[in-house]
Amino acid sequence: MKIIIVGCGWLGQQLALPLQQDGHQLYVTRRSADVLTNLPTAMSGFVLDLRQPDLTQNQQALALFHDALVLCAIPPGRGETGNNYQTSLQNLYQLMVQAKSTAVIHFSSTGIYQGCTGKVDESSELCSQHPRVQLLYAGEQALQQFPHCITLRLAGLMGPGRHPGHSVAGKTLSNPDGAVNMVHALDILEAVRTLIADNTWLSGLYNLSCPAPITREEFYLRAAELAQTEMTFICDATQSRRVLAEKFSLRFDFKYRFSSAIDALTYCF
């Protein structure tokens, strides 16, 4: 299958080589040729700046995206970058329509539940007064116009080169009893493989997050121990949210490799 990873940053690079090794014809895009030079030589790179108008007139891009599965891994950014995010995804949608792409898997974020407390799932009402929520929702809506769009709301990312113990080194964290919501890159990869094998491309919205309930204190203390870093907690009564991710598992008979985020920590070096 022809697969294009749009926005091949950290997550895209975790997916690219394994999918290529699965036998897929894989391409990755970045906004500039300079950035493409940092990619592994085995990857076929293509310069594509989605902020530019009239992409539907770009014959090379149209040929590349024709009959392709598109994995959209563009990070949302903030401020002016956030405005570029919305424009980029709207332009990507128009390009896929014109090119007659097969389907798109959009990697969104469980950050869209900012402001929510308690247990949240895909049907939870969003707190749209938050700018971050507005940005993520606008991005989802842009790509959900495409007839075959699967939106995966990813919890906090972890994996090789992205160890939580390093990100909290020297910090003081709040809410020790709150829920931690994380997902490992290997489980995201397996979710993509599951969707490819299913091959129905029915549009849907799904959370991806380690399903076992773990407190922030349990998780980050263990993460710091493994990474040989130090961090502390302050006791407060901040309300937290726990992201429920059963919908994807039930729909596709999917089993997480790491049901507990703590179990995934040793696979982040």
Domains of the chain, earliest start first = 2-159+182-210+241-256 (3.40.50.720)
Name residue 91's amino acid: N
Q: What is the per-residue pLDDT for 78?
A: 67
Percent of the chain at pLDDT exceeding 90: 88
Helix (H) or strand (E) holding 141: helix 131-144
Q: In this structure, which amino acid lies at residue 55?
A: L
Residue 159 DSSP class: B
- The beta strands (E) that lie in 19-102 are given as 25-30, 44-47, 69-72
User: What mean pLDDT value characterizes the chain?
Assistant: 95
Mean pLDDT of 102-111: 99
Dihedral sign (CA 97, 66, 68, 109): negative
Nearest C-alpha neighbor of 14 from the set 35, 28, 25, 1? 28
What pLDDT score was predicted for residue 80? 52
pLDDT at 33: 82
Confidence grade of residue 1 (pLDDT, cut at 50, 70, 90)? very high
Tens digits of residue pLDDT in 36-81: 777 766 778 999 999 998 899 999 999 999 999 999 999 997 655 6
pLDDT cut 70: percent of the chain above it = 97
**Paired tokens of 118:** 């308690």
pTM summary value: 0.96
Q: What is the arithmetic mean of pLDDT over 158-163? A: 98
For the stretch 199-241, pLDDT in tens is 999 999 999 999 999 999 999 999 999 999 999 999 887 889 9
Q: How many CA atoms lie within 13 A of 36 on its CB side?
A: 17
Would you state the pLDDT for residue 238? Answer: 81
